[in-house]
Structures are given as C-alpha cells and as structure tokens.
Amino acid sequence: MPYLGSEDVVKELKKALCNPHIQADRLRYRNVIQRVIRHMTQGLDMSGVFMEMVKASATVDIVQKKLVYLYMCTYAPLKPDLALLAINTLCKDCSDPNPMVRGLALRSMCSLRMPGVQEYIQQPILNGLRDKASYVRRVAVLGCAKMHNLHGDSEVDGALVNELYSLLRDQDPIVVVNCLRSLEEILRQEGGVVINKPIAHHLLNRMPKLDQWGQAEVLNFLLRYEPRSEEELFDILNLLDSFLKSSSPGVVMGATKLFLILAKKFPHVQTDVLVQVKGPLLAACSSESRELCFAALCHVRQILHSLPGHFSSHYKKFFCSYSEPHYIKLQKVEVLCELVNDENVQQVLEELRGYCTDVSADFAQAAIFAIGGIARTYTDQCVQILTELLGLRQEHITTVVVQTFRDLVWLCPQCTEAVCQALPGCEENIQDSEGKQALIWLLGVHGERIPNAPYVLEDFVENVKSETFPAVTMELLTALLRLFLSRPAECQDTLGRLLHYCIEEEKNMAVRDRGLFYYRLLLAGIDEVKRILCSPKSDPSLGLLEDQAERPVNSWASDFNTLVPVYGKARWATISKYQGAEHRGPELPDTASFATSGPLIPEENKERVQELPDSGALVLVPNCQLTAEYFEKTWFSLKVAHQQVFPWRGAVHPDTLQMALQVVNIQTIAMSRAGAHPWKAYLSAQDDTGCLFLTELLLESENSEMQISVKQNEPRTETLNSFISVLETVFGTIGDIKS
Amino acid sequence: MIHSLFLINCSGDIFLEKHWKSVVSQSVCDYFFEAQEKAADVENVPPVISTPHHYLISIYRDKLFFVSVIQTEVPPLFVIEFLHRVADTFQDYFGECSEAAIKDNVVIVYELLEEMLDNGFPLATESNILKELIKPPTILRSVVNSITGSSNVGDTLPTGQLSNIPWRRAGVKYTNNEAYFDVVEEIDAIIDKSDDVSFHPCIRFKRWESERVLSFIPPDGNFRLISYRVSSQNLVAIPVYVKHCISFKENSSCGRFDITIGPKQNMGKTIEGITVTVHMPKVVLNMNLTPTQGSYTFDPVTKVLTWDVGKITPQKLPSLKGLVNLQSGAPKPEENPSLNIQFKIQQLAISGLKVNRLDMYGEKYKPFKGVKYVTKAGKFQVRT
C-alpha cells in the first residue's frame, strides 16, 4: 500500500463512509469503520470523520456500535458540539432490550469526557443502578464516579452516595466491589468510603465469592476498619486465614498486610503470619514472571528488617542464575547480604564471590559491596575474599574493593593490618575518582603500616598535573600531610612539591585554598598540625548507626504491599512529594525551605530553650560525657521506657539539632550525616539524681515522623515525662526555625 | 487504578495504546525509553519506573512490553498480575502474544481491553466469561462471518455474568464432557526445604484442611488448580547427571570443553527435549566443538553456547567436546561457567505424586476423565 499522509487517509475514509453503496453493504461498511479504528490506534488523527462516524452509530450491528462508541470516546473532547449529536443515539440504546447494548451505551456515554454531558447521563445512570442485569449495574456504578469527576469534584450528591452504599448489598460480587471503587473516588475529599462494622463483616462474608482483583481490593479497603474488641479481631483473622493460601500473590500480599495491621498489638500473631506466608512468598520469588519475582523480593527484604533469620534456611532460593535480569540479581544480592548467619555464611560468601567476576560490571560491583557489608560481622573471611579479588587486577573490581576496605577499617579497626597488607600494587589498577580517593585516604591514615605508602603517594604527586578530579588532589593533600607526621623523612620533599604545585599552579580554587591552609598550618608548628589532623582512625560506634537492628514489624506494616518496598521509603517520599500536587486529596504542605545562613537559633528561641531546665522538676546536669562503648552496652541492657513520634518535615540539620540539644544539656553520642536515610541519632543525658536517659531518634524519610525511643536506667515516670517534654520543646523550636 | 496501557515492541515503537480515564500523552513513555537505554539489555528494564507525574509499571512478555500508567498508590503485585492476565488473554485468543497477532486483531484487542477494565478497574478477566462477550477469531468463523455477516460478539448477555461463581458460567452444555488433569512438575536444581501449596479460589479450603480432599466446582476451560513445592528429602532422584570437564590453560589461548549427559534414575521413561545453555566467560572468542548428537551454536557476541541435544538413549550418551579459543594475552577466566539444562519427561511425576481418585458429582452424564504427568526442568543449573 502506498504511504499516505493522515490527511489523505482521512479524506479517503470520509468518502468511503459517505458512499451509499458501502453503507448499504453491512460488511464493507464495517470494514471501513475498522480501518478508521486501526488508524486511530496507531495515533493518526481521525477526528475529521467524526460526523460520519456518529451517523454510523445508528445500527443494529453490535460490533459496529462498539467500534463507533470507542471512536466517539476518543474524539468527543475534541469535537464537543458534534458529540452532542451522538448522545441521542446513546440515550436510546440505554433502554435497548439487550442488556449488553444497554451496558455498552451507558459505559460509552459516561466515558465521553466533554463538558455539558453530565445533564444527559444522570438519568441513564440512575436507571442503570436499578437495571435487572448485573452487567448494566456494574457499568452504572462506575458511571457514578465518572459523572462525579465530570462535575469537577464540586459537590457530593448525597442521595447518590446513599444509593451506592445500599448497593453494597447487591447480589452480584462485581457490583459490590465497583460500589467501593466508585464511593472511594466520589468521597475522596472526605477520606474515601467509610467501612463501619456492618459493612466490614458483610464484605468479609462476601470475600470467597469475589474474583482475585475484588479480593485484593476489598482487603485493601478493610485496612481502615478497626475491630471493636479482641474477640472480633480474632474472628476476622480466622475468616481471612484461607486468603493467605490464595494462588494469586496479590491476594496473599493483601491478606498479609491486613493481618499485620489488624494484629498490630500482637507481635506473635504478626510473626505467625509471616511464617505462614513464607511459602507463597518464596514461590513468588521464583515465579515465572520476572516482575512478580522482583516485587516479591523487595518485600522479602522488608520482612528481613524485622526477622533477620526468617529466610536464612532458604538462602539458596536467592542465588542468582545468569539468565535473570539485572534488577532481580541486585535484589537477591541484597537479600543474601541480610540473611547471612553462622550456618550459611560460608556458602553465601562462596556464591557472592562467583558474582564478583560477572560479565556485568555493575552486578560485580554490587556483589563486592555486599561482601563488604557482610564483612562487618564476618570480617576475616570477607577480607580474605576481597584480597583475592585484588589479584585479578581488574579496574572495576579493584576500585570497589578498595572503597570497601576504606569503609571497613573505619568500622572494624581489627582488620586494618590485613587491609594494609593487601593494598600494595592496587594503585596500578585504579583510574576512577572514587577509587583513587579511597586508596589515598587509606595510605594517608594507615601509611605507617604500609612500607611503600610514601612512594605510591609520590607517584600520584608526579602525575598531579594531569589529575582531572579536584577531589582526588584534595584527598592527596590531606593524606600526604598526615603521612608526613608519621614518616617525615620520606614525605617532606614530596609534600613540598605538592604544596608548591597547589599554591602556584592549580586553577581550582578549593584545592588552592586547601593547599594554602595546610601551608599556613605547617608554619604554625608541627604540634598544631597534629592537633588538627590526627583525628581518630576508626569509629566502631558508627556501626551502631548502620546496624541492621531488628525493627518492629509495625514500623513498616503500613508500607507493605505498596510501592514503598520497591523504591525504598526515602525515594518514595521524594517521588510522592512531586506527585502530591497531582492528587486531588489533601495537599501536602510544601517542604519548608531550610535556612542555612543566619543565626541557627534566633534570640527569642534561645531564651525559651534556656528556660527549659527550670521548667520542671528535672534538672539535667551539664558535661555528662558517656563513651560510645558505654552507651552501647547500657543501651542494649535496658528496655524502652517510652516511645513516641513527633511530626517532622524536611531533612534534619544535624548541627542545628546538636547545638539545640547541647543548650539543654543533652549530649549527642552519634548521629547520621545530613541527608542519610534512615536518619538516626543517639543521645544521652543525666539528671542531678544520676538517672540516665538514653534516647534514639529515628527519621525514616523526609516528611514523616521522628520516632523517639527513650531508655532510663531507673524507672521514674515523672522525670521521664519532663525529659520527653524537654525533647518536645527542642524539636518544636527547631521546627519553628525551619518554617 | 490503571490509567492507560501502552504496548511497545523491542525496537521501541509504541504500536497500541488504550486509555481508561483521560488521555495520557505518549511522551510519558520517554521515561520508559530512557530506562531502557540505561539498562542496555531489554531484559534489564526495571518493572517499576517513576516519572514526575505518573508511575510506569511494566511487564516484558514474548518480546513485548506492556507498560501501564498509574497515578495513585497501588499494590504493585496486583498491577503486575493483571498485566500478565492481559498477555495471557491475548495468547489465549490469538494463539500467540506477538506484535503481528495483536496488530492483525487490533479491533478484538480493543474490545477485550474495554471489557477487562472499566474506569481503570479490572472487571471481566476470566477466559470463559470473556469468550462469551467477545468470540475469539478462528479461520472458520471469519469465513462464516463474512458469508452470513454475523459478528464476533455474542448478542445475548453472557450467562456467566449472572453466575455467582466468578470462575464458571451457569448452564454450560457440551456434547462431550471432559476433565483432564495435567500434573506438571518442574525441578529446580536448588531445592527448598519445605512443602508448600497454593490453591485456585474454586477449591473448598476447609475441606482440604479437614479431609485432604480437593473438592471444587471446576472452571470451564484451562486453569491452574493447585501449585505445590516438594522438599528435597521427598525427591526420588534428580533424573539427569552431567559429567563435565572445562579447563583453561594458564598463559595459553585455548581451553578444553567436554560435557556428557546421562540419565540417572528415570524409571524407564525417556528424557527428551534436552537443551544445554552455557554462558561462556568474556575472554572466549570462539568454540570448536563436535557433538555426538544434536546441534550446537555459539554466539560470539553474547558468548552463549546452546546445545540442542534432543533425547537421551542410554546406549550412547550424548556428549559435546572440543576446543575453546581464548583472547590471547588475557588472563585465564577466574570461574568456570554454569550449565543450564532444560529437559522433559513424559508420563512421570518425579515427586511420586499421583491423582488417587477423580470423582464428579451432581451431573447425570459420564464425563471423560484423564490424568497426564510431565516432569520438566525448572531452574536447573549445574555449576562446574
């Protein structure tokens, strides 16, 4: 067929549609209409034949009717005045003796999406709600929602809503589910459809009759029902039991979530449920559909946050096969990393080691990072594997191994010796900025244990002119100065050359300034340099922050079976923030912009803060300095005395918070860096009677809540309450600054 | 729930779109193409992608992407399952779920999509109910239709719509009544420790729990009644074994490759449809092999070796041996590749599971009944 532009096609089709000979021949007429639809589906603009198509709707042929309706729904918004002509035919069809025609006509009418159509569809919808054919009722019920959307959400028609609520008792299961869907859209402004006790139990009883989609959605609606008594709660759980064994993973997940939410006060019931769905979840993880596998794996990871041992005996299920897509492999590696224990660590590490030489560099690097994660617990074995990987002399492997080493010596100082022995020779296989920075940092901080460290750094200095990453040069400056402190003879000359280069030749201002700063610092004397640069070489307490400590099921139950586990909570918050404006629901307030300049605590607030210690019976003593080790030991030996959430918007600015807490004599033991997710902090304080308050702050993501757990070494409710109110005021004050 | 659906082929053409609420511009798919480009291989496109105003949830089936556009928070598994159901329906209607089949039947595709979703919510998705609403195309029917001018649409309301059992329409009448059970077992080489079962909603769960009897009103047509997993302790034996010797010499540009496949304990049944795929290391340039039976191919770009073996005759075990050419100067591969094996054994359920009785109640006629067993390789990997 010769290629025709869309205009020629429209012209030709228009002629054919008007041709009385073709109109007389049913088959030919329908064929022309089919061609119009075909072009329409390919994205060609077929609105030019609207008039002719409207005429074609007056037919007894259902296929033809269907096609014309389909066409009209697509182009009605473009040709509203012409579409009104079609409404007559549609209205007539809404009272056709054939229920299929009635349904079709009603559905099409409701989908016209053009202004002014509301007044025509209202009566047919109301008739449809009382139609004797369930097919028509299903269409009419959803039509109510479409009609409401056409009105632009202005007002809710109370009578219609009542009618829909009463149709929840319809004998057709799909009508019931459609009523829920429709009410949810119509009542969105008021928080959606209300699930009271009679409705909840009615729905529960109808559950077995619904198809899998209906079941999944009803399970979701039931989340908003709160049983009145424990007895009722367990009755409901019994009714739900069989859905945990459904063949549809969507229903299984829906039922699991409902269980977890309903049983929020019964942790052992929650654990039981997670044990019950272990099988179905594992089956989904090896499902034929790769997308299902992926979604299931994301949920497995979520469960592992609370029950780290839950899937440990099934670790082999999470071994990757080469034909699997990337996103599944990456999830599996994460899962393996989290379920590792004393029994399976050997096999898991062996498996991960195999992935490190995968053809895909991304996957190989993910596997290396995973081994680095496991190294925090099983240090020796992992360091050995990582060292062996260096022997492969592959650039993409070496760089990641060195980065892993850097993080590892910081958290697990006991492996420093082994790492230092592995490092020589690495410099030949590192080209990227991240890898170079990691290597240079290691050489600077632990250079006294690496015989050739000064010479490796010297090589970097030799080539500094051709260095493209300013961050590497900065790191080099710091490292060389540090090493100079422990091995002055070998470094002095090189350091001199580097400083000279940075000050005299370097174009990047930040590098130049750093060079000048170090130069002046050296002029101030070696003791001053030591005071500034000799910071601790490791910080095992950071491990406490990064710790995958068991989180309560309730902290993620509400995210289960949503997109949160797929994206991670932090990323999800960012995404939904964008989308907030799109939703018709209650608008999210804009994230408060954060003022970084100006005084951190305005004068009037400062006064408020300082008044605090006197406000209650509680007097916190200043300078209660606990060591991280002591804090960790005490923290794990005590039970949580109080848990609370404070509303929180935006990111935490650790400096501000730390300063504000210091003002009220609360010391910060450890704190995540700004922007980390989840963000954590550990605080300690002591009152004048010697009672210790240990506090954990946890912010899962931006725009959520700050979770606070307080432990106390002497059970005293009064002082505890005062302590909480102190915290509350501090957070309130910081909130004030931000908004 | 599901706002729009786009069908996209491997070369990135959007060849079909359908909108259930307002029209979403095709440009939303640019985010999908971006992800596709980033993923390098089409297989690696992540199933969930976020864009500033929508989420795209997609599945990849038979070289086609089904990309759905979502505007509100949804349970991801629900959408993924639904998209697979759409693809299954196309497969069921047109015999294959390909771009050509969908384009040839574009009108039926639209009719189907119209019935499967309304206002973005799943409505009729069961094959037997859909077939009442929209008749599948057959060669005979299209001939008959063109003579009589009758349509592909049932002109009476489907009776199934009034049935209270969603998976079966009321008043089904056939001249032959048949109930066939296929027991299909798949072996995963890494086998799990516990047994698990999941059921089609038609099964009366309470009766299964109390009497261990599967009692149900059967859906009309093909369906999955139960799926189960069997632990390794209960497994009789892995039916095939592989003898392998793959070696690469240090500082040399060649290696040796030799694999032989044999039946282990197969209870007198033939193992057939055997294919071996091996993902060779990057440094392999070419392979020069001789199979004793079947044929082999090696793709030097993807480094995938495929050996189509056919069936095993115990008298002469199939083997594939020869030389591997390596990139000269490159270090010898660190790991030996794993072998992925596909096979099928007819008339055998490896777990020993048998259908004990098949009774039908409530009908006067005598239906044909039958049970067929097949064992297949699932994810069967041999590490060398």
Interface test with B, best of A33, A213, A222, A322 (most B CBs within 10 A): A213
Q: Which string of DSSP letters, residue by residue, matches A364-416?
A: HHHHHHHHHHHTTTSHHHHHHHHHHHHTT--HHHHHHHHHHHHHHHHH-GGGH
CB of A687 closer than 8 Å to CB of A719: yes
Phi, psi of A595 (to 5 degrees): -80, 120
Minimum distance, in Å, between the CA of residue A682 and any CA atom of chain B: 34
What is the arithmetic mean of pLDDT over B156-161? 44
Residue A138: CA count within 13 A, CB half-sphere? 25
Q: What's the pLDDT score for residue B193?
A: 33
Give the pLDDT confidence of B274-310 residue by residue, as tens digits. Answer: 898 888 888 888 888 888 888 999 988 888 899 998 8
What is the Cα–Cα distance from B202 to B280, expressed in whole angstroms?
Answer: 46
Q: Which string of DSSP letters, residue by residue, matches A307-348?
A: -TTTTGGGGGGG---TTS-HHHHHHHHHHHHHH--TTTHHHH
Q: Check CB contact under 8 Å for A247 and B226.
A: yes
CA distances A568 to A334, A366, A573, Å, are 13, 17, 9
Cα–Cα distance measured from residue A523 to residue B347, given in angstroms and rounded to the nearest whole number: 88
Alpha-carbon span A172 to A135, nearest angstrom: 9
Specify the 3-state DSSP secondary structure of B69.
Answer: strand
DSSP B183-238: EEEEE-SS--SS-EEEE-TTB-HHHHHHH----B---SS----EEEE--GGG----
Let me know: does A650 contact A594? Beta carbons within 8 Å.
yes
- Characterise A561 by phi-psi region: left (phi > 0), alpha (psi -120 to 50), beta (else): left
Q: Of B22, B41, B282, which is closest to A113 when you measure between CB atoms?
A: B22
Nearest to B125 by CA among A9, A174, A515: A174
Inter-chain touch B197–A245, beta carbons under 8 Å: yes
Residues of A in contact with B146 (CB under 8 A): 27
Instruction: Say what the pLDDT of residue A724 is.
Output: 84
Average pLDDT over chain A reads: 83
Report the DSSP beta bridge partners of residue A102.
Answer: none
Select from A275, A289, A362 the residue whose CB has the most chain B CBs within 10 Å, as the one to mutate to test that interface: A289
One-letter amino acid of A263: A
User: According to the model, what pLDDT value does residue A574 have?
Assistant: 60
Radius of gyration of chain A (CA): 34
Distance (Å, whole) CA A138 – CA B116: 13
For position A739, what pLDDT does the model report? 43
- State yes or no: pLDDT of A316 exceeds 70: yes
Residue closest to A77 by CA, chosen among B19, B294, B208, B207: B19
User: Which pLDDT band holds residue A583 (cuts at 50, 70, 90)?
Assistant: very low
For residue B20, the model assigns a pLDDT of 87
Cα distance between residue B116 and residue B86, in whole Å: 8
Q: Does the model's ipTM exceed the 0.95 cut?
A: no
Shortest CA distance to A669 belongs to which of A627, A720, A712, A622?
Answer: A627
Residue A82 has pLDDT above 90, yes or no: no
**Cβ under 8 Å to B: A residues 73-132:** 74, 77, 98-100, 107, 113
The per-residue pLDDT for B234 is 53
Transcribe A409-471 into DSSP letters.
HHH-GGGHHHHHHH-TTGGGG--SHHHHHHHHHHHHHSGGG-TTHHHHHHHHHHTGGG---HH
Report the amino acid identity of residue B46. Answer: P
pTM of the predicted structure, to 2 decimals? 0.69
Backbone angles phi, psi at A440, to 5 degrees: -65, -40
pLDDT tens digits, one per residue of B207-220:
777 777 888 877 77
What are the contacts of B205-209 at 24+ separation with CB within 8 A? B205/A242, B205/A245, B206/A242
Q: Could you give phi then psi for residue B379, rounded to 5 degrees?
A: -95, 90
Q: How far apart are CA B56 and CA A360, in angstroms?
A: 25
Rounded Cα gap, residues A204 and A232, in angstroms: 12
Integer Cα distance of A657 and B326 in angstroms: 60
Pair B373, B349: CB distance under 8 Å: yes
Between A239 and B363, name the one with better pLDDT. Answer: A239
Measured on CA atoms in the order A565, A567, A569, A573, is the torsion positive or negative? negative
Is there a contact between B16 and A139 if contact means CB atoms under 8 Å apart?
Answer: no
Q: A213–B282: do the CB atoms touch at under 8 Å?
A: no
Q: Please, are residues A282 and A314 in contact by the beta-carbon 8 Å criterion?
A: yes
A window 248-287, beta carbon within 8 A of B: 248-250, 252-254, 278-280, 282-284, 286
CA-wise closest residue to A732 among A663, A654, A642, A646 = A646
Which residue type sits at A145? A
Task: Give me the torsion for CA of A219, A224, A225, A231, rounded to 10°.
Answer: 80
From CA B140, how far away is CA B152, in angstroms rounded? 12
Q: B307-362 pLDDT, tens per residue?
A: 998 888 777 888 898 888 888 777 777 677 888 888 888 887 777 777 777 777 77
Encode pLDDT of A33-50 as tens digits: 888 888 887 777 888 888
